[in-house]
Structures are given as C-alpha cells and as structure tokens.
Structure 1
C-alpha cells in the first residue's frame, strides 16, 4: 500500500473508554474503515492525527502500530493508557513518561543470558525518543502545574505532591498483573521498571524497526498486586484517567516540536 504524502502522528489506544474520551473531546474526525485496525483521522492544530484502536495486548498494539507505519508517513508513534505501579512511590493517578519499554515476558534463555532481550539486541530496553520525551515532560509539567498548583519535580527523583509525573522504564507483557507474586517476579528480573502495561514495548519494537520516533504516556491505575480490582480500574479509567490522558495527548500533538522528534 502506498503511503500518504502528509506526515501524521500515529496514536495507539487500547481501551474503549480512553478511545471514547479522546474522540468526544479532542479528536473528532472521520473514521477509516479499511484495514485490520479501526482508525480515525483528525486535524488537531497543525497536526494530522490518526488514532488506532488496538485493543489490549502486545500483538494488538503491534498490529495497530504497524498499520499506521505502513499506511502513512508517520512522524511519531505515541501510545497512551493505564499502567500498574511497580514502584512504591507511585500512586493511583500519577503519570509515567516512558524513558523506554521492554517485554518482561519475553525470555530466550538459555540462547541469551538474560530475560527480555530481543534477538539481535544488546539489552532489553527499547529507548523512547529523547525529543518526544522532553516534549512530554514540558507538556505534563504544564498539565500538573495547572491542576495541582505546586512546583514540578520532573527529573529530580523527588515525589512530593498529590499528582506526580515521573520518567522511567515501562515493562510490558501479555497478562494483567494482579498478584504480589507476579509483581515481585517482574521486579526481580527488571529492578529499574516503575510500571507495567500490556502494549508499550510492542509499539516501541515496531517503531524501532521502522525508524520512527516514539513515546508513551501512562497513568497509574492500580498497584499490580493482590489489591487489583478490574471494576475499580475501569471506573478510574472512565471517571479520571481518560480525561487526564486526553488533555496531555491533545496538548502534545498540538505542539509543532512533535514532528521533529
């Protein structure tokens, strides 16, 4: 399939609740009916944004990201959604900006020495684009300051306010992490991971293969332990997280610097 001439920002979302919030408030446009993945296209400021609804899981996220790359000249790939906390400093509602992502459930031992390392790679982490990450910091700082009214602690490692924004590694896998034993196992193999989701590393891997800058924004919805309650997670997504994600993503894609990565 030939690519469109106009550059676009590709956005992947996994949950219907987030999709509806983004469509209703910020990304009203026309639906794209052909292809394997449902998409909608919008003009947001000076940017063309194509939002792909992947559904949950790494295969779905990879399929959505690959579809965006194949169909368009994508200047950036973004993914947003919920995550479970792997760090005691992170609470429900906090924002995580991915410094990188990896597959916590990918393991080629004994072929390779450590879990998470992809064939041909030297380490498990797929780093996010530094330009996009810097812009995410700027946007999320602005969002948090307008909603909380206190100094930002980005980059300092200090966490001192009710809504925290931190940069860190995202662990992705094809399972909901809802027991303490699962959480401990992930932290044992990947001590630097601060949150867990089901999609970011898949989009990162597609972006790496395609040479496209990428970034991920995650809102903490649970503690990835025995307190996990799916109904509470969905309610949080509907009532709070989706609005946070929509506002941050909307500001991000409106900034002209997003096209420079």
Structure 2
C-alpha cells in the first residue's frame, strides 16, 4: 500500500477541502436523543416531518413548538454522540444543539422522574488507569497529573483540545446561558408526569432543577461507590453517556448547547435493582415535555 500511495499524482493528494452539502437550507435547532425510546415523543409531535438520510442515519426536519428543528438520534455513548453532532452541524444550518434524554441521578435530593438542566458538563473517563504498586497504591506515571482524587486505579484528567493554542485542557463545558434562562422560564408552572401508561407511579411528583453539574462517560453506571465519587469530586447531580461529548463539539463549533436529562434511575444509589427498565419511558417523556416547553420560550 505504501508504494501504491506514492504512485498517486501530486494533484490527487492535494485536493482542496470541500464544504459539506446541506441537506436542508432552513436554519434549525437540532434536537437530539441517544436512542429510540427517548425521541418517540418528540418525533411524534413534529409538524410537517420530512426524513433526510445520511450514512444510514435518519434526520427528521419539521416544526416543533413553533421552532424549525431537525430531530435525530445521536446513538448511545460518547463517540456516537460526538460523531453525529458534527454530522448534523456539517449538513444542516444549526443555530443551537439541544439534547433530550434519560440519565442516572447522583444528588440524593433528586428523585426518579425529575428533570435536570445542568449548567456545565464534564467527561469523567478521559482518564489514566494507573499502575498498582507492591503496597497496593495506584500511581500514575510521574509525568502525568490529575486535578481530581482517584477512584481506585482511575485518575480523571482534563480533555485536551487541539483547537486551543498549545493544546489547551479543560474539564467543564458550559451550557449556553441564554438557553439556560429559557429553560428556567419553561420550567415555571410545568407539571411533569408521575405515572406511566401502565399506571406505574412514582411516590413523589417529579421536579425540575435548573443548574448544577453533570458528568458523562462511556459507561452505564450502577455503582453506589462511583456515584458517591461523582458527587464528591465534581458536585455532580446527574450521570449520563452523551451530554459532555455534545457540549465539547458544540464549543469547538461555537454553537449554543443545552441538555435536558430526566432521571430513569439512581445510578446505583437505590436499595432496589436498577430502575431504568421500569421508568425509562416516564423519564424520557418528562424530558421531552420540558424540551417542548423550552422551544416555545425561544424567540
């Protein structure tokens, strides 16, 4: 292959970059969910839906709560979320990125069904898996550092951003403050569902929290110890698998971002087995309801 590549004409190797083809010229808000149960309510509420196919993925344009949107699935976890976020930015005229979905609760003051709209998101598993010494201590290589306490062998590190001069690093990616204000207005007076279609009900009426911190990683967390670690190290209210990846891509592209996450489970904090399978649809519906109210608040 090396010789075949060397034989290519220089003009072939120096092709100019081409702008991605827009699938739709209308300025839109991208509304994303990780997997099908999370976007069923939103897709079903679209007016004048039109499907656009790209690399096997479906992007659905239409109107939602008075806004021109494109609704899409990101796929589950960080790489899928980053890839599809950049894809929608390349092929649509996107004015803002909105994520709607479920998550695991960390803050003990929160309950299943609650919706959290965090003001910042971090990636907890951009990390070093450290070597264990003979006395049972985990140590990173001497030339590496972490700003956080380790969780066993795991030392979380800041994300390296090549877009920043000299390879800048950061942990937190911020929610757009104007979008956060709109979310706060939308939350006023909105009543969330406490029972699902099968009449499985929550003991308390779900609440909405605007602000606080969320953390994301490519791991489904159902572990009480790590849940406590996330609370201690980052003051996290919520754990998920996509939001921080979308927030990073949004920052690099200078596009406003916000994520709405409803708790389907307590990430290992409950005495019962994980509740996600029971309350996933209820939680997804509550997140979608706040997203629709939020869209109606935008200019």
The question of a shared fold, defined as TM-score above 0.5 by the shorter chain, is answered with: yes
Displacement of 1:83: 1.2
Q: Could you tell me whether the CA contact under 8 Å between 2:34 and 2:81 is conserved in 1? A: yes
1:74 aligns with 2:118: no
Deviations 1:196-245 (A, max 9, x none): 00000000000000000000111011111164745x4133122x223222
Q: Distance in 1 between matches of 2:126 and 2:177?
A: 25
Q: 1:30 to 1:234 in 2, by over 3 A?
A: farther
Displacement of 1:186: 2.7
- For structure 1, the 5+ residue unaligned runs are 149-160
Question: 1:158: which partner in 2?
Answer: none
Question: 2:221: which partner in 1?
Answer: 177
Q: 1:116 to 1:17 in 2, by over 3 A?
A: same
Q: 1:229 to 1:116 in 2, by over 3 A?
A: farther
Question: 2:159: which partner in 1?
Answer: 118
Displacement of 1:18: 1.7
Displacement of 1:54: 1.7
1:65 aligns with 2:109: no
Moved more, 58-67 or 161-170: 161-170
CA root-mean-square deviation: 2.4
Q: Could you tell me whether the CA contact under 8 Å between 1:12 and 1:64 is conserved in 2? A: no
Moved more, 71-80 or 162-171: 162-171
Q: Could you tell me whether the CA contact under 8 Å between 1:141 and 1:165 is conserved in 2? A: no
TM-score in terms of structure 2 length: 0.73
Q: 1:142 to 1:122 in 2, by over 3 A?
A: farther
Q: Could you tell me whether the CA contact under 8 Å between 1:26 and 1:250 is conserved in 2? A: no
Which of the numbers 182, 185, 190 marks the counterpart of 1:143? 190
Q: Could you tell me whether the CA contact under 8 Å between 2:102 and 2:287 is conserved in 1? A: no
Q: 1:31 to 1:116 in 2, by over 3 A?
A: farther
Q: Could you tell me whether the CA contact under 8 Å between 2:145 and 2:157 is conserved in 1? A: no
1:193 aligns with 2:226: no
Displacement of 1:184: 2.8
Q: Could you tell me whether the CA contact under 8 Å between 2:60 and 2:70 is conserved in 1? A: yes
- Report the 3-state secondary structure (helix = DSSP H, G, I; strand = E; otherwise coil) of the residue aligned with 1:207: helix
Question: 2:178: which partner in 1?
Answer: 131
Q: Which has the higher strand share?
A: 2
Q: 1:170 to 1:121 in 2, by over 3 A?
A: farther
Q: 1:57 to 1:147 in 2, by over 3 A?
A: closer
Question: 1:151: which partner in 2?
Answer: none
Displacement of 1:46: 4.1
Question: 1:2: which partner in 2?
Answer: 21
Q: 1:215 to 1:70 in 2, by over 3 A?
A: same
Q: Which has the higher helix share?
A: 1
- For structure 2, the 5+ residue unaligned runs are 1-19, 129-139, 148-155, 161-166, 195-203
Deviations 1:160-180 (A, max 9, x none): x83222221111000110011
Q: 1:28 to 1:176 in 2, by over 3 A?
A: farther
Q: Distance in 2 between matches of 1:181 and 1:254?
A: 40
